[in-house]
Structure 1
Amino acid sequence: MKIAVIGASGLIGTKLVEQLGADGHEVVAASRNTGVDVLTGEGIADALNGADALVDVVNSPSFEDAAVMNFFTTSTNNLTAAAQDAGVGHYVALSIVGVDGLPDSGYMRAKVSQEKVIRESGLPYTIVRATQFAEFTDQITDSMTDDDQVRVPDALIQPIEAAQVVEEVARAAVAPPLNDFVNVGGPQKISFEQMANDSLTRRGESKTVVVDPNAEYFGTALEQRSLVTPV
């Protein structure tokens, strides 16, 4: 198969290009570094020429509400239009488990809009919703740190290694379109308290982890199972 990976220079995109290539597929690694700009549309048509599938793993450079919404709506409209023109048979996108249940988050709202554009484009599609990357648990812990305390929500998180996400997205790219989403998550559902304590221990830091029902996750309140797979 010929597969165009859009966002090929990121954490997932880089590994995905390697994985698909190792599996014997012809891969087009598309990013701003290769002259493909998803906001202006520059280079997209060339990247999709002859492609059987498009894998969208782009991410916004800004998480500010208006900027991230503009990024995902503009980029996805440009990509779906170009994919239709090129006759691409499968649009695969990476999204987030529970994305449609956290409307207080500007980032989540933008990802919901991205999914909507894909679903309504008329293209055959598969949306892979993943839980939070294990590689980001230190960053999450730091975002909840105030002096010597880490204030975490009373909720579960299900860290997944980026390599596993790559495997799931690669599998989706070569399979028939689902015209639906699929949830993928890490091996364990753990509390934010455990995640934070594990992060601090790993880094040799001595701070107190406090479970705070009012603590937010990047600006949004969480229910117990907001960020984990249903099963």
Structure 2
Amino acid sequence: MHKTHSLGLSLALASIMAISGCSAVTTAVKKRNLEVKTQMSETVWLDPVSIDKRTIFLQVRNTTDKSINLIDGLTNKLSVKGYRVIQDPDLAHYWIQTNILKLDKMDLNEAQGFFSSGYGAGLSGAALGVLATAGFSSHSNTLAAGGLIGAGIGLVADSIVEDVNYSMITDVQIVEKTAGQVQTTEQASIKSGSSSSTQTLLTTVDNKKRFQTRILSNANQVNLEFEEAKPVLIDGLTTSISGMF
């Protein structure tokens, strides 16, 4: 009887070990290659211009806690397309204004939500967690003990194999000078406490057309480190911005 019980316990534990490791193995296989995706929320159409007007002023901002350089890559890619980056905004026919709003590990669904909200929208929001529960049958002490051990093995496997996604969310504004005058109206809402807000409406007339879009860049791989993700995120973003010209 004792030998039969030991054999049953061994078989139960072996099965649980195989099952608990399955998730980690699947992740390691599926996510072994680095996947990079870049999306733009709105298409920006710029009219063709003569060679003498292919001048661009860059204003790159980063309000995250991560250090990242877009200027070099963006300047090179624009140069290949025949555009010159100059330092004087008054002499440039185009301005490219960018702000990296968020750059961190992020769930793909959460990143897509920030992206879908579009240019200028805030990034406030709470992540929703899922509580998993497990029940053990009172008539099987063997399965209960094996389940606890299997859960421990699963936790170890999951801690070693992690599906990591880095997301970079960037707002981009393209400003183009025109021969005629353009009227622009902007509305701002400033909160005053939790129950009221102040609305401000600003109308300006100048010689500039403005185009706005939001760009989401994702880098996804098992056990991905930020320094590995950074160059591909930069390349995806700068390729997307330069692709508008």
So what's the TM-score if we normalise by structure 1?
0.31
Q: Would you tell me which structure has more helix in proportion to its own residues?
A: 1
Structure with bigger gyration radius: 2
**Higher RCO (CA-CA < 8 Å; seq separation 6+):** 2
Query: TM-score scaled to structure 2, two decimals?
Result: 0.30
Structure that is richer in strand per residue: 2
